[in-house]
């Protein structure tokens, strides 16, 4: 799992930050998920070498404020032309997402050229297959808004090759059967239980994205034990009253969610232009306020890439210790 931050600003773009969009690459599946799609996201994709829109399979929209959705129709409309995308794309979001997209298509005579499906989300599981579960939770903003969690299902434990060699088990297809936990009869008559050579299942990775929200218990629950929490941090503490009126979070709000949820890492995004207008002035304040509460915090910037490593069996969040 790899995240590429395509837009990390809030409200309006600046010279250094586009508005909200994150690409989640799933290389084992050859797929790309998009979390929000603010204006200009398709241009950001062209500048991100690891992002291939031809692999786009799902788009998860948190809410319909323009800085999170104005880039969606343009990106989908030019996907087939720009990067050869012909495979289906599923759109997930609030109930207003489908009429919003269909209205633009009808009024502009636009046609995507590949199948697009619409899925209205409600709190709980919104997508699941044999490997991935995506959940959402309703959060506190000025409109119908959701946060998303992308969770891998547990992975098979590691196959102990050294132990297999010590038992003089010949390499080859039999290793694959043993790794799957099968019981195998060898040519010399020995019966080997594959489960004895495979470690415990490894927990799947969990990535959580807040979208726009004030601090709320629903975010803490959704982010529980996440490997990575990407949380909006529109304001510093000096603007707490404004954050409250706008239903946004401060950096310390995001850090409190991370601490209470026991996540491994926090990345702040959706930074107000007031902190970034002069090349980063004020970002140190956001980072300091968050790290006072939760040490493993970073502030995202456009084109930041984060690889989320797997946990080994029995490995817990640092806050569990």
What pLDDT is stored for residue 311 in this prediction? 76
What is the C-alpha separation between 223 and 221, in angstroms, rounded?
6
What pLDDT is stored for residue 314 in this prediction? 58
Q: What is the pLDDT along the chain (321 residues), one digit of tens a residue?
A: 999 999 999 999 998 899 999 999 999 899 999 999 999 999 999 999 889 999 999 999 999 999 999 999 999 999 988 767 899 999 999 999 999 999 999 999 999 989 999 999 999 999 999 999 999 999 999 999 999 999 999 877 778 888 888 888 888 888 888 888 889 899 888 999 988 888 777 789 999 999 999 999 999 999 999 999 999 999 999 999 999 999 999 999 999 999 999 999 999 999 999 887 555 558 999 999 999 999 999 999 999 999 998 876 655 544 444
Q: Could you tell me the residue ranges of all domains in the chain?
A: 2-155+202-309, 161-197
CA 1 to chain centre: 9
What pLDDT is stored for residue 318 in this prediction? 47
The burial of 96, by beta-carbon neighbours within 10 Å (0-12 exposed, 13-18 middle, 19 or more buried), is given as middle
Q: Which of 41, 62, 27 is nearest to 247 (CA)?
A: 62
CATH fold for domain 2-155+202-309: Metallo-beta-lactamase; Chain A (3.60.15)
Query: What is the chain's alpha carbon radius of gyration, rounded to the nearest angstrom?
Result: 22
Is residue 119 within 8 Å of 92, Cβ to Cβ? yes
Whether the model pTM is above 0.85: yes
**DSSP structure string for 65-81:** -HHHHTTHHHHHHHHHH
Verify whether residue 320 is a known catalytic residue: no
The catalytic position among 36, 67, 227, 253 is: 67
């Amino acid at each position: 799992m790899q995240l590429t931050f395509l837009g990390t600003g809030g409200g309006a773009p600046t010279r250094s930050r586009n508005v909200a969009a994150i690409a989640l690459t799933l290389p084992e599946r050859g797929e790309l998920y998009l979390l929000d799609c603010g204006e200009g996201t398709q241009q950001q994709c062209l500048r991100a070498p690891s992002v291939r829109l031809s692999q786009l399979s799902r788009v998860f929209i948190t809410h319909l404020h323009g800085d999170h959705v104005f880039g969606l129709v343009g990106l989908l409309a030019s996907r087939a032309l720009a990067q050869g995308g012909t495979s289906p794309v599923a759109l997930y979001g609030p109930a207003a997402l489908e009429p919003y997209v269909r209205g633009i298509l009808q009024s502009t005579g636009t046609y995507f050229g590949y199948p697009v499906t619409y899925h209205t989300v409600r709190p709980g599981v919104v997508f699941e297959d044999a490997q991935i579960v995506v959940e959402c939770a309703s959060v506190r903003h000025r409109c119908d808004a959701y946060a998303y969690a992308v969770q891998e299902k547990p992975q098979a434990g590691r196959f102990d090759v050294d132990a297999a060699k010590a038992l003089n088990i010949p390499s080859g297809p039999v290793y694959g059967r043993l790794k799957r936990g099968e019981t195998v009869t060898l040519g010399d008559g020995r019966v080997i239980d594959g489960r004895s050579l495979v470690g415990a299942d490894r927990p799947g990775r969990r990535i959580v994205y807040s979208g726009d929200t004030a601090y709320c218990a629903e975010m803490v629950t959704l982010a529980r034990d996440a490997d990575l929490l990407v949380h909006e941090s529109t304001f510093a503490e000096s603007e707490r009253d404004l954050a409250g009126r706008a239903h946004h979070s401060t950096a310390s709000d995001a850090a409190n969610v991370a601490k209470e949820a026991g996540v491994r890492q926090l990345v702040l995004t959706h930074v107000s232009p007031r902190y970034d207008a002069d090349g980063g002035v004020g970002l140190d304040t956001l980072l300091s306020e968050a790290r006072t509460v939760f040490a493993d915090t970073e502030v995202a910037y456009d084109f930041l890439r984060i690889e989320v490593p797997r946990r080994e069996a029995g490995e817990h969040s640092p806050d569990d210790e």
